[in-house]
A and B are shown apart, each in its own frame.
Chain A
């Protein structure tokens, strides 16, 4: 993982994450995504279980698309927390492997890590789990373009 240039202000980052990632991103709010934790290059978010987000009506597990939204949002946040200053980013690609069936009626938590920031591209990996990060239901690898066109979400949020 890249080294931080100055100490990571976790409290401030978490409060920006908790507000901006929902107010600036309508889908995150529509899914009730919660910001749980963060660190330099690390983000943890939770997707609550909801009946309208189910993929299989017999089993009652969350749809893969809802997990994709969680992992994309969480991985993007981990890139923000690895950048020296907030600039716009855009997902280039995202792969998700479903390691085992999700448990019905349970929230899913994602923990994403941005482990490399290049001049143009940042690289992430993430896992999704119910209660125990060592027992993941999905794992993911993503790449993000850095400094794309458009205003930074973080700058618009007043940071």
Chain B
């Protein structure tokens, strides 16, 4: 994919509010089995359960990397959906807090932009399963959002 094709795909998804198309641009999001859609006024990323996403097969629980990848992806989708978004954000760092064991079921995530700077944006993201009030994993991440 060229930079122009990526830019066009992201812009088209944003203007048509067909945010599910973000997943087409990011191979690893497809590997995780993610889908993206507006639920009310919130962009929610859904990760369908797949046995390959498991980290501890005894409990069983989703892998720490699975949850980190879901939250990083949800943060990126939140930024891509923002009207001022132009480029694929580059991650500077991410801190993931593992709050509860993430069970082998469908998992959801959403992000909130806590600071939108000219060069750097801060996003907080949460993942939950059946009960939104009991997040299983949370993260905060910084992204470079400047072009080039």
Contacts and interface: CB of A to CB of B under 8 A. Distances in A.
A52 B101 contact: no
Contact of A95 (B31, B53, B70, B94): B94
Contacts of A93: 95-98
B40 to A, nearest CB: 26
A65 interface: yes
Given A69-B63, A73-B65, A55 B96 contact: no
Given A26-B51, A53-B31, A94-B64, A68 B96 contact: yes
Given A27-B63, A94-B68, A96-B93, A65 B28 contact: yes
Contacts, number: 139
Interface residues of A, number: 43
A24 B55 CA distance: 8
Contacts of A31: 65
Interface in A63-86: 63-66, 68-73, 76
B88 A150 contact: no
Contact of B65 (A65, A88, A150): A65
Given A66-B69, A72-B63, A97-B92, A25 B54 contact: yes
A90 B55 CA distance: 10
B116 interface: no
A26 B52 CA distance: 5
Closest 10 CB pairs of A and B: A69-B65, A65-B69, A63-B28, A68-B68, A27-B63, A72-B64, A30-B52, A57-B1, A95-B95, A54-B27
10 contacts: A26-B53, A26-B63, A54-B26, A58-B88, A72-B68, A90-B98, A94-B96, A95-B94, A151-B58, A156-B58
